[in-house]
Chains A and B, each alone.
Chain A
Amino acid sequence: MEEFLKQFFDVGFMVDHFDEVLDGFWITVQLSVISGTLALVWGLILATLRQMPGKALMPVRFLTIAYIDVFRGVPLLLLILIIAGGVPALDFLPESVRLPEWFGKPDSFWFGVLAITITYGAYMAEVYRAGIESVPPGQMEAARSLGMNHGQAMRNVILPQAVRKVIAPLLNDFIALTKDTTLVSVIALNEVVLVGSDIQSETFNSSALTLGALLFLVVTLPLARLVDKLIAREQSRFTRGAPRVEAL
């Protein structure tokens, strides 16, 4: 038992390495927030493109669907390796793109951001789509009958309702994204997992990784509770007050 606690929960060891691990986790947080924000925006763009009306825009819809299908089907780890290994070799790109070191972050950070945004943009596009399709068709008809064009109707009527309905599932995806940022450790980004596992291989003690896990929980558990709360709130919208005709 003592052996077990020393291996995974050595408090003194955690205190000694706390600053290193926290630095790594700070990278994880930055990576999550930046890719999460970009994926939220990119997903919304994809979902909107997918809903464009008319025959002329068929190719746009087709390409969007193909993109979403492909990048939901490809493992993120693979994409990270492809991008990190491939992009620097593309000589026709300017160096600031091949080896981006923007805002004092290493290129591995930005390759991670790119890979995560590409993958999670596809996931989130599907979440937005579910939201858009859950808005009753009468809403679009009402907006169009008042003279709004498709874009105005989407912006002012459909999307505000759709996004409200999918905030909880989007947040779920964001939690998953946060955990998946650890995959960027394979291209030597000093985030929390790489820091912890370096310490583990030097000291044969896993407590630094356990500490990393605990830091994750500090972030993800409140988010999970928030998701529950949002879902409960959304459900109560439909069960109180006058019956809502669209909900029948």
Chain B
Amino acid sequence: MEGSAAGEAILSLRGVCKRFGDLEVLRGVDLEVKRGEVVCVLGPSGSGKSTLLRCLNLLEPPEEGDIHLEERSICKGPGSGTGEQSWELDFVRQRVGIVFQQFNLFPHKTALENVTMAQEKVLGRSKSEARSKGAQLLERVGLADKLDQYPERLSGGQQQRVAIARALAMDPQVMLFDEVTSALDPELVKEVLDAMRELAEEGMTMIVVTHEIGFAREVADRVVFMDEGLIVEQGPPAQVIDAPREERTKKFLGLVLEH
């Protein structure tokens, strides 16, 4: 985020493969993400976009390939055979935050408690420290008046903004967004995208799986188009969205931009 670190690759993937039984969801993905970069991943459903994100924070460890986070390998690749221990879970999850399509807020906790819980349990912050950080983040996403509300009392857009604050509270180096507006009513999409846009402007490294082409065009430094478990095409939004080279990209964009 600081100027000195800009340009350095914070995340790099080589030949990442993931299978669910016979189904090959990722078939050798290579990708580099620089610090401070905003990468939007587009592609039809089933193309492996979400799985890619879930591989990145090891919710679904890849079977093959290698992922480097801050120059450190976070998976030992195929055949290391030592099970869960070979995945650098703590290292990854303290640096990579994720926001889910379904929010996944903790329903038995207030908005503020959702944001403070992991700060206290994982980072060992004091209650007051966690609360002040949490309140500050909730204020930043426009929810200063909702601190003590339970999730079921919040709209989808508000819940999703709490989820963003919750992930940010862990001071991540990279933020992953997994179709975070897909479960929202149309009128609530903008407030979430605005929060993400602000985050991008502040220099957060972001990988955003989305169907919001407008958002990708406007905010992304780079757009990646995926299909059938592979990256088909990538480049600046003006190139990939407005002048795609690959047939599959053209076809997909034709379908989503038509309406």
Chain A residues in the interface with B (C-beta under 8 A): 53-56, 136, 138-139, 141-148, 152, 156-157, 160-161, 164, 237, 241-242, 244-246
Contacts and interface: CB of A to CB of B under 8 A. Distances in A.
9 contacts: A54-B83, A139-B104, A142-B104, A144-B93, A145-B167, A147-B94, A147-B123, A148-B121, A246-B102
Contacts of A55: 83
A94 B156 CA distance: 62
Contacts, number: 76
Contacts of B183: 245
Interface string B69-110: 000000000000001100000100110011010111111100
Given A147-B93, A244-B107, 11 more contacts: A53-B84, A54-B84, A136-B102, A138-B102, A139-B106, A142-B104, A145-B59, A145-B97, A146-B170, A160-B108, A245-B156
Contact of A147 (B90, B108, B154, B155): B90
Contact of A146 (B83, B93, B107, B152): B93
Contacts of A138: 100, 102, 104
A242 B94 CA distance: 32
B226 interface: no
Interface in B50-76: 57, 59
B122 interface: yes
B190 interface: no
Interface in B152-181: 152-156, 163, 166-167, 170
B207 interface: no
B167 A146 contact: yes
B117 interface: yes
A244 B118 CA distance: 23
Of B84, B102, B107, most buried by chain A (CB within 10 Å of CB) is B107
B57 A157 contact: no
Contact of A148 (B57, B84, B97, B118): B118
B121 A245 contact: no
A243 B100 CA distance: 17
A152 B152 contact: no
A32 B123 CA distance: 42
Report which residue of A53, A55, A144 has the largest number of chain B beta carbons within 10 angstroms of its beta carbon.
A144
Chain A to chain B: the 4 pairs with minimum beta-carbon distance, closest first = A146-B118, A142-B104, A138-B104, A147-B122
A148 B59 contact: no
A161 B152 contact: no
Contact of B57 (A136, A145, A242): A145
B122 A146 contact: yes
Given A147-B93, A242-B155, A245-B156, A141 B166 contact: no
Contacts of A139: 104, 106
A142 B106 contact: yes
Contacts of B106: 139, 142-143, 157, 161
A245 B156 CA distance: 9
B59 A141 contact: yes
Nearest to A245: B102
A129 to B, nearest CB: 19
Interface string B193-233: 00000000000000000000000000000000000000000
Nearest to B121: A152
Nearest to A145: B98
Interface string B111-122: 000000110011
B100 to A, nearest CB: 6
Contacts of B155: 242
Contacts of B117: 146, 156-157
Contact of B107 (A141, A145, A147, A161): A161
Contacts of B107: 161, 244, 246
A204 B156 CA distance: 69
A242 B154 contact: yes
A74 to B, nearest CB: 36
